[in-house]
């Protein structure tokens, strides 16, 4: 069976986890600190401008908290993960759902500007960089849970808003052992607010905080995965180009200076259920990336998002695939789509 998605873990990750276990300290410690330093290097940030946390959801909640999201009007795409809605609800914000930009899985930023939201959560869906204005009055959280490593104008995305958030879940572009995330920002004050919130224990004040800490065991795995990320992205790009060469109609964003990453390879098709069923008969896993029932508000109010939910299929795309697997998948899709 060719699975739709799976993590890419091997001997390097096993050795890193073993070293953390042998050190005898698996809670937050030196490995977490080292991962934060390496994330700053990856994003060309000064040291101290990244905070590793327990999950991508935690990162998003903490970003909203640092920006004072309570009672604020938070813009978020209806075509997105429920974690965004959950974080807004937990912070006590007001969800203002937004449709996709026409022909794109990313949120329509111009609609957010017109709606005058206080904070916009702006994911780059499926690894396709969201198109952002050069200047606006938007306070923005750039969500790169699906797009770490993508570039626009020669710079890695994630820092085009006040705060960026990463997810290192099991099947993301890299994982810190199943869960994990990070908050990044050029604004050191916001970063230190997040770091202070994370350090919940043994404090001499009565401020409310919560345990969103990453463990050293997670960070040890995450450090290896971050080093391997260029290798992972290159293989994903190879699979994308093979699918494209097979004539499949794939979601993408082209343009000067835009370099997506291939978190999902999403194909437009008229009958997703039929394609998925046919692939299953060939022992190939495929899904609708976001189904109609998963849209975060009443689907009929968001025609662009609804159109994507009704006419897209996500094909296998992960580093552990083999070239012969991709050839088999492309052939099977061409015979059924």
Residue spans of beta strands (DSSP E) within the chain: 50-53, 73-77, 94-98, 119-123, 139-143, 151-152, 155-156, 163-167, 181-184, 258-259, 265-268, 312-315
pLDDT at 133: 86
**44/232 Cα distance (integer angstroms):** 20
Tell the CATH topology of 229-336: 3.90.1150
pLDDT in tens, 208-258: 999 999 999 999 999 999 999 999 999 999 999 999 999 999 999 877 899
pLDDT in tens, 15-27: 999 999 999 999 9
User: Exposed, middle or buried by CB within 10 Å (0-12, 13-18, 19+), for 105?
Assistant: buried
**301/260 Cα distance (integer angstroms):** 29
pLDDT at 337: 63
Q: What percent of the chain has pLDDT over 90?
A: 95
* Architecture of the domain spanning 11-224: 3-Layer(aba) Sandwich (3.40)
Q: Where are the domains of the chain?
A: 11-224, 229-336
| 276 contact partners, CB below 8 Å, separation of at least 6 | 286, 287, 288, 313
pTM as predicted: 0.95
Count CA atoms within 13 Å of residue 301 on its CB side: 10
212: its two tokens: 């969103």
């Amino acid at each position: 069976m060719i699975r739709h998605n799976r993590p890419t873990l091997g001997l390097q990750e096993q050795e890193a986890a073993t070293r953390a276990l042998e050190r005898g300290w698996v809670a937050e410690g030196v490995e977490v600190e080292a991962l934060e330093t390496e994330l700053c290097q990856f994003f060309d940030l000064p040291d101290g401008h990244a905070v590793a946390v327990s999950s991508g959801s935690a990162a998003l909640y903490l970003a909203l908290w640092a920006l004072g999201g309570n009672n604020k009007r938070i813009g978020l795409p209806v075509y997105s993960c429920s974690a965004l809605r959950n974080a807004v609800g937990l912070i006590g914000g007001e969800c203002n759902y937004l449709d996709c930009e026409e022909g794109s899985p990313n949120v329509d930023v111009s609609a957010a500007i017109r709606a005058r939201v206080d904070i916009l959560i702006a994911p780059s869906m499926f690894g396709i960089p969201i198109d952002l204005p050069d200047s606006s009055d938007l306070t923005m959280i750039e969500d790169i849970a699906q797009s770490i490593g993508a570039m626009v104008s020669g710079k890695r995305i994630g820092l085009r808003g006040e705060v960026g958030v990463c997810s290192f879940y099991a099947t993301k572009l890299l994982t810190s052992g199943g869960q994990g995330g990070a908050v990044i920002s050029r604004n050191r004050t916001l970063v230190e607010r997040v770091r202070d919130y994370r350090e919940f224990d043994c404090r001499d004040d009565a401020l409310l905080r919560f345990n969103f800490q990453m463990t050293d065991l997670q960070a040890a795995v995450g450090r290896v995965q971050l080093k391997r990320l260029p290798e992972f992205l290159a293989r994903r790009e190879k699979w994308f180009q093979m699918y494209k060469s097979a004539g499949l109609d794939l979601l993408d964003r082209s343009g000067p200076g835009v370099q997506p990453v291939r978190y999902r390879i999403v194909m437009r098709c008229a009958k997703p259920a039929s394609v998925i069923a046919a692939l299953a008969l060939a022992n190939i896993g495929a899904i609708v990336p976001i189904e109609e029932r998963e849209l975060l508000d009443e689907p009929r109010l968001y025609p662009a998002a609804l159109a994507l939910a009704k006419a897209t299929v996500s094909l296998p795309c992960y580093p552990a695939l083999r070239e012969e697997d991709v050839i088999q998948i492309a052939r099977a899709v061409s015979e059924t789509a």
